[in-house]
């Protein structure tokens, strides 16, 4: 079957995952049969789709006509034969119980066309075992969406023992047509990629607390503010549902052995029905409205090493058993769990040798199988890391950005952290500086284009998690500010014309970056702002000095002091955006403009830019004061209040301390 042969998708199960998958398929233009065992269940799922589509239309993420058309493509059904009888692809999203899923496939097999592909939305169960219930194991695979499917980008495409390569290829293409990013899981292994990393990580955190090695506060402070992960381990457990984590562990324990034995603390939480947010209480108490309160300064190096060692061991098992390569693991966990960097990169940077030693010491001390090092971990520790060394002189390798050459003397820098809204980390600043040097030294490049990967953000600003993970360190903050100023200043002073193509959010440090471009082209849906004052900070990468030269001092003060967000059309009126284009026209329009500039007289362009920059007021003193103020603010209580509120999606209460 080819992608163009797929017209109708049946989704079995109208719960949160099922109706979300159905909505995604309908928005992509497919006819969708949404089926559940009771009319009330399927009607509720249909109503949830209607509500969600209308909300997307209200937020201008699609037109009302498109929302109405997508809803019309969804047919709610109870009868199995009617739901699957004409389906090209059947995506099953029923409860995560092996027997329930097997019963569904036994029934569906009777009525599905011979051509139909079966895809199960399981998060950890065996694809091979489920496929054995059917008469078409070669047309059976996993298609694991993440919750909520409408928002989450990742889809794990999992091979069963007999899945045909053609089946996997077309399901990957279907996921891409849904607007998602598929990551291939090459072998049927419990937990696949994301859950195989996350669930043992949460379990190890629970074991450490169960055995009085640490506290919940220490673990979550370490994972969130030292390791820089999006949530504390226990905070994440409460979000996912402690029963969900427990059942995944039970299955892993059954299939893979004692290394995945659930921790007593987690088991107790499930027995007491303290399942997390959904029950009002888990590792944290949500009933009184306080919820999660994680200290910012209670980190533990011991906890960090144990958790990183657990991640390293699980990564070794996945890579060593050919389940997935390092790149796929990092991409999947970044997209599916919001890690700022992938787990393989994290453990490589920390060092595999000390993590292997941590596991060996813990195994000697406790005798528990969860600390038994994988053979492949020792092999890669000796080699220096999971990733192969790139010391072959073939060019520069980047992680946080991409450098491309679209032709006609244009160098293209892509901020490549779409899973983090292209937020600007310390690593990205270093790579951006290196890329500017690389392209300036290239005689074949005469103009630069800067974009952000994905359709959500040019850049949503500084990576607040990385900032929080660094702690309230004024001297470090001054250095970070100066590093950003230096890199952005290098871009501004670049002898070549620079065009920023802005699509989606252009906020904070992202807007400061765009300010350094010579010209800015923006899509209609773009949104701008300098929200630093809402965090108790100020723009620290040149924003207090450069913005006024583009929009005037009055507008610059308005934008910075109000911390408001502005539509692209408004920023065009202010003179910040030079050209406003339709959402689908941005790339072509920006590339055309950059190509035109690249064809101009390079010497005249160079001296024109230098003359205009020299003609400004001397901003060196202003930049020095900006860095000093940024560092001073890093030591304030107001900053931690602002960051904590931001990361918890709350409102800060500044006290001027």
Structure tokens, 239: 């979000």
> 3-class DSSP state for residue 8?
strand
- Between CA 14 and CA 21 the distance in angstroms is 9
Q: What are the Cα distances from residue 284, in Å, to 186, 255, 270?
A: 37, 31, 14
pLDDT at 296: 84
Q: Side-chain half-sphere of 336: how many Cα atoms within 13 Å?
A: 28
SS3 call for 120: strand
Residues 6+ positions from 378 with CB-CB distance below 8 Å: 356
Strand-by-strand arrangement of the 457-459 sheet:
457-459, 505-507, 527-529, 565-567
Residue 471 has pLDDT above 50, yes or no: no
CA 6 vs CA 30, 80, 101, 123: distances in Å: 8, 19, 23, 24
For the stretch 561-593, pLDDT in tens is 999 999 999 999 999 999 999 999 999 999 999
Confidence label for 654 from pLDDT (cuts 50, 70 and 90): low
Phi, psi of 581 (to 5 degrees): -135, 165
Residue 630 has pLDDT above 70, yes or no: no
Residue 478 banded pLDDT, cuts 50, 70, 90: confident
Distances in Å between the Cα of 649 and the Cα atoms of 60, 353, 394, 469, 645 are 22, 38, 44, 17, 6
SS3 451: strand
Beta strands in 160-291 (DSSP E): 181-185
- The residues spanned by each domain of the chain are 3-185, 193-383, 401-596, 601-648
Whole-Å CA distances, 262 to 216, 242, 257: 17, 11, 11
In the chain, the N- to C-terminal Cα span, in Å, equals 64
pLDDT of 182 strictly over 80: yes
Taking the model in full, what pTM does it have?
A: 0.76
Confidence (pLDDT) at 585: 94
Dump pLDDT digits (tens) for 411-465: 999 999 988 899 998 889 999 999 999 999 998 999 999 999 988 899 999 886 6
Average pLDDT over residues 223-251: 92
Cα angle: 561, vertex 562, 568; to 5 degrees: 115
Q: Which residues contact 451 (CB under 8 A, 6 or more apart)?
A: 412, 413, 414, 415, 458, 500, 501, 503, 587, 590
Instruction: List strands edge to edge, sheet with 519-523.
Output: 401-407, 410-415, 447-452, 498-502, 519-523, 579-581
Q: How confident is the model at residue 657, as a pLDDT?
A: 62
Predicted pLDDT of residue 392: 41
CATH number of 401-596: 3.90.226.10
pLDDT of residue 637: 72
**Computed over its alpha carbons, how large is the radius of gyration of the chain?**
26
Helix (H, G, I), strand (E, B) or coil at 599: coil
Q: What's the pLDDT at 437?
A: 92
Question: Would you state the pLDDT for residue 590?
Answer: 95
Q: Which of 144, 247, 412, 419 is catalytic?
A: 144
* Whether 542 contacts 525, CB under 8 Å: no
Can you give the pLDDT at residue 605? 85
Is 111 an active-site residue? Answer: no
- What's the CATH number for 193-383? 1.10.1040.50
What mean pLDDT value characterizes the chain?
A: 90
Of 350-359, 535-544, 603-612, least confident by mean pLDDT is 603-612
**H helix intervals, 112-147:** 127-131
pLDDT category, 618, cuts 50, 70, 90? low
As a whole number, mean pLDDT of residues 210-219 equals 96
Q: Pick 619 or 647 by higher pLDDT.
A: 647
Query: Is omega for the bond preceding 554 within 30 degrees of 0, making it cis?
Result: no
Q: Pull the structure tokens for residue 598.
A: 């690249």
- Give the phi and the psi of residue 408 in degrees, each rounded to 5: 55, 45
Task: Please check the confidence at residue 338 and state whether its pLDDT lies above 80.
Answer: yes
Q: How confident is the model at residue 653 (pLDDT cuts 50, 70, 90)?
A: confident
> What is the reported pLDDT for 476?
60
Q: What is the pLDDT of residues 272-307, one digit of tens each?
A: 999 999 999 999 999 876 678 899 889 999 999 999
Give domain 3-185's CATH superfamily: NAD(P)-binding Rossmann-like Domain (3.40.50.720)
Q: Return the pLDDT at 293.
A: 87
User: Per-residue pLDDT averaged across 339-367, rounded?
Assistant: 94
pLDDT for 426 equals 86
């Amino acid at each position: 079957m080819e992608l163009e042969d797929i017209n109708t998708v049946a989704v079995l199960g109208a719960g949160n995952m099922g109706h979300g998958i159905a909505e995604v398929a309908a928005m992509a233009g497919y006819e969708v049969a949404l089926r559940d065992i009771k009319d009330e269940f399927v009607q509720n799922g249909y109503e949830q789709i209607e509500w969600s589509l209308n909300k997307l239309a209200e937020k201008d993420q699609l037109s009302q006509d498109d929302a109405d058309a997508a809803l019309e493509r969804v047919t709610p059904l109870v009868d199995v034969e009617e739901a699957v009888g004409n389906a090209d692809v059947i995506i099953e999203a029923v409860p995560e119980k092996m027997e329930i899923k097997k019963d569904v496939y036994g029934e569906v097999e009777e009525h599905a066309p011979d051509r139909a592909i079966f895809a199960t939305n399981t998060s950890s169960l065996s694809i091979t075992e489920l496929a054995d219930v059917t008469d078409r194991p070669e047309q059976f695979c996993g298609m694991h969406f993440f919750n909520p499917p409408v928002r989450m980008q990742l889809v794990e495409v999992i091979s069963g023992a007999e899945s045909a390569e053609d089946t996997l290829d077309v399901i990957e293409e279907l996921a891409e047509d849904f607007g998602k990013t598929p990551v291939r899981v090459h072998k049927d292994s419990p937990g696949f990629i994301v859950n195989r990393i996350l669930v043992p990580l949460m379990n190890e955190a629970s074991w450490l607390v169960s055995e009085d090695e640490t506290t919940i506060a220490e673990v979550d402070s370490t994972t969130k503010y030292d390791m820089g992960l999006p949530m504390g381990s226990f905070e994440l457990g409460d979000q996912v549902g402690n029963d969900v984590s427990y059942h995944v562990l039970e299955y892993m324990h059954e299939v893979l052995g004692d290394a995945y034995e659930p921790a007593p603390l987690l088991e107790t939480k499930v027995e007491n029905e303290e399942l997390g947010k959904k029950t009002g209480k888990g590792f944290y108490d949500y009933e009184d409205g306080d919820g999660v309160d994680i200290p910012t300064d209670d980190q533990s190096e011991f906890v960090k090493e144990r958790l990183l060692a657990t991640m390293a061991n699980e990564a070794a098992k996945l890579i060593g058993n050919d389940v997935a390569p390092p790149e796929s693991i990092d991409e999947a966990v970044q997209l599916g769990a919001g890690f700022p960097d992938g787990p393989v990169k994290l453990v490589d940077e920390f060092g595999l040798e000390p993590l292997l030693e941590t596991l060996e010491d813990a195994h000697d001390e406790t005798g528990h199988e969860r600390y038994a090092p994988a053979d492949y971990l020792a092999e890669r520790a000796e080699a220096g890391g999971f990733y192969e060394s790139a010391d072959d002189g073939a060019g520069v390798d980047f992680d946080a950005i991409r450098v491309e050459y679209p032709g006609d003397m244009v160098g293209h820098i892509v901020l490549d952290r779409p899973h983090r809204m292209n937020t600007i980390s310390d690593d990205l600043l270093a790579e951006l500086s290196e890329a500017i040097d690389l392209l300036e030294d290239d005689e074949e490049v005469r103009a630069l284009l800067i974009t952000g990967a994905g359709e959500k953000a040019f850049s949503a600003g500084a990576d607040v998690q990385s900032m929080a993970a660094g702690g309230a360190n004024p001297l470090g903050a001054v250095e970070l500010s100066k590093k950003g100023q230096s890199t952005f200043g290098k871009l501004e002073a670049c002898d070549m014309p620079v065009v920023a193509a802005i699509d989606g959010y252009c906020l904070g440090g992202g807007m400061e970056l765009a300010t350094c471009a010579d010209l800015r082209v923006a899509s209609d849906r773009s949104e701008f702002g300098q929200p630093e004052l809402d965090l108790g900070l100020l723009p620290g990468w040149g924003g207090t000095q450069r913005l006024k030269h583009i929009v005037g001092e009055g507008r610059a003060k308005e934008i910075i002091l109000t911390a408001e967000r502005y539509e692209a059309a408004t920023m065009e009126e202010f003179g910040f955006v030079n050209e406003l284009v339709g959402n689908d026209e941005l790339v072509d329009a920006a590339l055309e403009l950059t190509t035109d500039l690249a064809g101009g007289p390079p010497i005249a362009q160079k001296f024109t830019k230098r003359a205009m920059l020299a003609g400004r007021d001397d901003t060196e003193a202003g930049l020095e004061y900006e860095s000093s103020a940024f560092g001073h603010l890093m030591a304030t209580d107001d900053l931690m209040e602002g960051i904590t509120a931001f990361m918890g999606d709350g409102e800060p209460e500044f006290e001027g301390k």
